[in-house]
Structure 1
Amino acid sequence: MLRRGFLKRTAAAFAGATLPAGRVLAHEGAAQAAVIPPREVAIAEGIPAGQIHVMPDEFALYWTLPGARALRYAVGVGRDDLYEAGTFLIQAKKEWPSWTPTPGMLEREPEVYGKWADGMPGGIDNPLGARALYLFKDGYDTFLRIHGTNAPSTIGTAVSNGCARLVNEQIIELYEKVPLETKVFLYPKVGMA
């Protein structure tokens, strides 16, 4: 499968489109942020249904459907130096997952992550949000996740420690659709090796 073919068809699907605003889950009493709802789009022929394709330069995640179609979700992605392209399998899924910063996160920003070195229980304040899909490669946990967020303003940005994030409402929807052993493609950022 060529990235160019996938992108050409998806770009054409959005030409001139105006998308209505949706809603996301937020803290009780907090203002609800408007976000782009998932949208069904045409993709290149020959891409199997039941896969996830993350296009970091578009801040888009595609859940492929039969008949050269996909659901397109808006996402936030990892910062340039932390984003990891590759092919992965989802080999764990969790609702309201707990979270522990990786050793790299603790080393880079101990003042931010040190208080959570022993972990943070799941819940609305947890950085993994309402659901998480765990990405594995060759049977090993990569510590990369597709997860929710309680910070909708981070959608459409490259600020995370390598993961792809959706608003909580949308990760809950995607979580229900995606089975274990789903193949995930994280495409390279343009200009990155």
Structure 2
Amino acid sequence: MIRHNGFTLVELLAAMAAGSLLLVGLGAATASLTREARQTVVEKDGAKVANAAAVLEKLIGSLQPGQANVSTIHIQESSLTGDIDPPAALGPVGPLHMALKVQDERDGAVLMLTFTPVEYDVTLPPAVLAPIKVAGGFQSIRFDTPGQAKTAYRSADGPITIAFAARNDETRILAFRPKVTTGGDCRFDPISLACR
């Protein structure tokens, strides 16, 4: 082996290959950071709404109608409350009272989710009772329904809508319907948009 300035030719080639791989890795990391920095506020807000939509669809879809045609679903501009069946992971704890409330924080409007047991003799883990941030960083978040009575929700009121207004005045609206009507006599079919 020929030594050139104390290194063999193989050692120099290995060092050059390692340096090239290091430069490629740094270039990819820089490109990723640049791409993320270029992502517009609109795209970030859209991603936040899309992430929240899956959670909200399951929650609102599982709202229960109540007894004797009296709704347990209550909608106001800044809150949505109602009773839902508990997630299977909690076991047989009975229905839970769900509250989605809009709170103003330093970084904008935040949609918070809380659970409380409907029955007083039920004990839930502290993690279940802690508030959960569903979405945040918006100029405003509003709940609405076309037949808004500002009190109890009825199936005839139409879909429950949630409007997420971004800081650039772009508004994204999500619409949901509880699967069980407030009379409890039928289930809403999302394909035919009828009660069956």
Q: Same fold (TM over 0.5)?
A: no
Q: Higher relative CO (CA 8 A, sep ≥ 6), structure 1 or 2?
A: 1
Between structures 1 and 2, the one with greater helix share: 2
